[in-house]
Amino acid sequence: MLDDTTIAAIADELVEAARTRTPVPRLTARYPDMTIEDSYAVQSLWRSRNEAAGRRLVGHKIGLTSKAMQAATGITEPDYGLIFDDMVLESGTVLDWGVYSHPRVEVELAFRLKADLTGPDCSLFDVLAATEYVVPALEILDSRIEMEGRTIVDTISDNAAMGVMVVGGRPVRPDELDLRWAGAMLYRNEGIEETGLAGGVLNNPANGVAWLANKIFPHGDTLKAGELILAGSFTRPMWVYAGDSVFADYGPLGVVTCRFQ
């Protein structure tokens, strides 16, 4: 495992990479013995740096929970990251493409919690009971670390590649529908690119939230009432470029849109 000085240096490097919009060389190329525990230590310190700068934690994201995403990245286990208040945007927002490195879009469901969730034995049923509503969301992936050859260690250190999220559509209570069958069609510039069902996320996206509650428990953390939890993409990430418009049709749950300029 890496020493505390190296962990701190990496966290500071990633803060600076976000500020300058310049990805840094792959961590696992420079620190081949770096572990998953090291990467979560980097993420935790990165969180502290951002909170000290005035950003407020409002939720968590879960990544790599579907076979589609694991096939797209070559990484076969889920990871998680953090959501700050300035990372939650409304449907219809216009994004500056140049702010992001290698931006991609994912189709997800977000869970708004009305009660705390804690491990180590959090279940799907606990998640459903603790959820105020579920709402469609797009995640815009960003990268503060070069992408070629990335492993899960790099991705976790990079806040699970979280950029921002765009929330829209129609919030629903979790007992109003079978979440497994919530589906979406993802369009770029009026052309359909991806389709998927939320059941692709661990058979039910609520299982992703339960996984997260159990995963962070050993670190002394819990999911708190009021937090927004991105449960993971059920489509492959879609590359976007300056001038692109994005339209995600969730059927009865409504639509989410954004545009890159």
pTM of the model: 0.93
Distance CA 65, CA 77 (A): 7
Inter-residue contact 198 to 234 (CB < 8 Å): yes
Identify the weakest region by mean pLDDT among 4-13, 68-77, 235-244: 68-77
User: What is the pLDDT, as a whole number, of residue 65?
Assistant: 75
- 166: amino acid identity, one letter: V
Q: Does 13 score more than 90 pLDDT?
A: yes
List, for residues 17-56, the tens digit of each pLDDT value.
Answer: 999 999 999 999 999 999 999 999 999 999 999 999 999 9
* 102 has a pLDDT exceeding 70: yes
**CA dihedral of 231, 203, 134, 76, whole degrees rounded to 10:** 10
Mean pLDDT over 233-259 rounds to 97
Residue 67 pLDDT > 80: no
Query: What confidence tier does 71 reach under pLDDT thresholds 50, 70, 90?
Result: confident
Whether the per-residue pLDDT at 76 is higher than 70: the answer is no
pLDDT in tens, 133-187: 999 999 999 999 998 888 889 999 999 999 999 999 999 999 999 999 999 999 9
Instruction: Measure the CA dihedral 86/128/64/143, to 10°.
Output: 0
Please count the CA atoms within 13 angstroms of the CA of 246 that sit on its side-chain side.
35
Residue given tokens 């702010």 in the structure block: 99
